[in-house]
Structure 1
Amino acid sequence: MGVIDKVAGWFGRARASEQPRLLQVQCANPKGLHRMAYAEWGDPDNPRVLVCVHGLTRVGRDFDFLAQRLSAHYRVVCPDVVGRGRSDWLPDAAGYGVPQYVGDMVTLIARLGVERVHWFGTSMGGLIGMALAALPDTPITRMVLNDVGPVVTAVSLRRIAEYVGKAPKFASLDEAERYIRVVSAPFGPLTDAQWRHLTVHSTRPRPDGGFEMGYDPDIGKPLAAMQFLGDIELWNLYDAIRCPTLCVRGAESDLITRDTLAQMAERGPKARTLEMPGVGHAPMFMDIAQTVPVEQFLLEDTVS
C-alpha cells in the first residue's frame, strides 16, 4: 500500500473527530502573563505531535482541512499566536516579535508533554519555526516552511505593512469577507465556503453588532517602525537547521523568490523544494492537491 493510500485510510478514520478541542496555555511576557489559545485535533494521548503555526494576521483555524487529514496519525496542534484569534493581546506592542513567539511555543510544547514535534509554519509561523529549529536541542525534528525562507523581500513587507492594523470595521460578515478576499487575494482560487471559513475564524463580533478583524491592531506597529531599505536576511538561522525540511513556495509569491528557494536546497538543511502553481503568498492547504505532497513528506518516517 502506498503513502497516499495510507493517508486516505487515516483520513477516513479521522472523520470520527470533525471538530477540534479548543484549549489554552498560560505564557509569560516581560510585563506579566497571557493566555495562548490553540485548537487540538486527533488523539490527545498520541505522542506524535504536529504543530501548525499561521501567518501574521491569520489564526490557527486556517489549518482545519490539513489538521483533519492528518489527525488520525498526529495530535495536531494549531495555536493562535498571541495577539490573534482567541489568544490574549500583549500589554506592550514591542513584544510582538519572534523572540516572544518562540518562548510561547516552547511553553506550549511543554504543556503538550512531548519531547519532539513536527512543524508546519506559514509565513510568520515559518520564521518562528526556523528560529526554534536553529536552537541547540530543538524539539523540531521535521519541518515544513510554507512560502517563507531566510530571505524576506522588502517588497512583500511593504505590501503587508499597507494593511496590517488598518482594517476597517464591518457591518456584516459579508462585508468582512469582501475585504478579506481583497487583502488575501494572493491565497489563490478558493471556494466560497473556504473564504467564508477564513472570514468566520479571523474576525470577531463587535458590541454594535458588526465585526472587526480578530487581531490586535498593534501587531503592525513593529512592522511599521521598520525601514524597508532592503530584504531581511536570516541565513544564520537557516544554516543552523539540521532537521529534514520542505519549503513550499507559491509560484507567484512576492515574499520568497525562486533564487532563495534554489539556495535553500543547497544550504543548511538542504531543503526539498516545491512550487504551488496559481498561488502567491501563501498557499492555504485547503484542498487535497496542495496537501498530499506535504503529507508525504511529513509521514515519511512513519510509514514504509
Structure 2
Amino acid sequence: MPLNPLSPTLRHVTVPGAAPAAGGERRMAYWDWPAQQTAAVPHVVICVHGLSRQGRDFDALATALSARSRVLAVDVAGRGHSDWLADPMQYQVPTYAADLVALVLQVREESPNAVIDWVGTSMGGLIGMGVVAQKGMNIRRLVLNDVGPSIQWESLLRIGTYLGLNPSFESEQAATDYLASISTGFGPHTPEQWLALSRPMLREREGRWWLHYDPALAVPFKALTEAKGDEAAAKAGEAAIWSFYDAIKSPTLLLRGAQSDLLSRETAARMAIRGPKAQCVEFEGVGHAPTLVAADQIEAVKNFVWAR
C-alpha cells in the first residue's frame, strides 16, 4: 500500500519475448501514481526513462501530474525492479517497445476509454517513437525529452565511458557524488535533489552501494559504438528511426537542453518541419537531459499533456 496519497505503488506486468535471466515468466516493473481527482475519461501518462536510469526519475513530474492524471513510470528491462535478461543482446529498443506495448494493452483492458499520453526521456523517447508509430496504440500526445532520430556520436562515446562499469561505493553519499559527476548535463540541482534522483539508483549489499541495473546492458551498446565504421548500417538505422518519427500522428512536444550533446539544434529543427512537426522547448543551462524536476520543465510537460 502507498505510504501516503502521493506515494506510488510498485506493480508488474508480464511481458512476452526475451527470456529472463532467472527463468520463468519475465516481468516489467512500473510505479503507479493514482490520479487524485476522478474523471469521467481517465487520463494516463506513461513515463519511460533514459538508458541507465529507472522509473523513479519521474517522481517530481508524477507528483505534479497526479493531481489530475494517473502516472505509470516504468523500469525498463534490466533496470530498477524489472527482471534482467538472459541474453544481453536483447537489451535493445525492439525488446523494450514490445514490453511497453504489453503495458499499453493492459491499461486499455483496465480502462477501455482511457486517454494515454507518453513522456520519454532519451532512450524512453526512442522507445516511444517505436510504440506511438504503431497502428492501434492510440497514444494521444507524445513528449520526447532531448532525443530525436539523429543522435550525436560524441554523446554515445561519453555514455560509453561509464555504462556497465558496475562500480560500488562505501556510502550512499559517495554513490550520489559519483552519479552527479557523470550527470552534469542534467543541469543545476540542489544536494537534496541529487540525493532524491540517486537513491532509487542504488542497492545496498554487504555494506557497499551498487547501481541498480544489469551491467550487461552495456553489451549491445558497446557493439553499436564499436561498429562506427559501418556507415551503411548506421545510416540505415537512423533512417529507420526517422521513418518511425514520420509515421507519428500524435501532437508531439520536443524538450531540449540548450547545451545538449545528444540532440543537436539541427535535428530539432528538422523534427519541427516533418512528421508530427514537434513543438520544441529549450531549457538554458541544461545539457542531456532535462530531469523534469525544475518547475519550468514540469510546467512545459503539464501544460502539454493537460491540453484538450
TM-score by length of 2: 0.89
* 1:222 correspondence with 2:214: no
Give 2:149's aligned amino acid: P
Task: Look up the match of 2:34.
Answer: 42
Paired residues of 2:260 and 2:289 also in contact (CA < 8 A): yes
Give 2:158's aligned amino acid: R
Paired residues of 1:157 and 1:228 also in contact (CA < 8 A): no
The alpha-carbon deviation at position 135 of structure 1 amounts to 1.2
Of 272-281 and 109-118, deviating more is 109-118
Of 40-49 and 57-66, deviating more is 40-49
SS at 2:192's partner residue?
A: helix
The alpha-carbon deviation at position 139 of structure 1 amounts to 2.9
* 1:27 correspondence with 2:15: yes
The alpha-carbon deviation at position 77 of structure 1 amounts to 0.3
Q: Matched residues in 1 for 2:18 and 2:282: separation?
A: 40
Q: Matched residues in 1 for 2:60 and 2:152: separation?
A: 29
Identify the match of residue 58 of structure 2 among 46, 55, 63: 63
The alpha-carbon deviation at position 174 of structure 1 amounts to 1.0
The alpha-carbon deviation at position 29 of structure 1 amounts to 2.5
Structural mapping, 1:1-304, within 5 Å: 17-31=5-19, 33-43=25-35, 47-112=42-107, 113-114=110-111, 116-206=115-205, 208-226=206-224, 227-229=227-229, 233=238, 234-301=241-308
Q: Matched residues in 2 for 1:210 and 1:53: separation?
A: 28
Paired residues of 2:254 and 2:278 also in contact (CA < 8 A): yes
Q: Which runs of 5+ in 1 are unaligned?
A: 1-15
Q: Which runs of 5+ in 2 are unaligned?
A: none
The alpha-carbon deviation at position 34 of structure 1 amounts to 1.3
Give 2:16's aligned amino acid: A
User: How much identity, in percent, do the aligned residues show?
Assistant: 45
Paired residues of 2:18 and 2:85 also in contact (CA < 8 A): no
> Paired residues, what number?
285
Q: Matched residues in 2 for 1:110 and 1:296: separation?
A: 26
TM-score by length of 1: 0.90
The alpha-carbon deviation at position 218 of structure 1 amounts to 0.7
Residue 78 to residue 298, structure 1, CA distance change in 2 (3 Å): same
Q: Matched residues in 2 for 1:184 and 1:88: separation?
A: 25
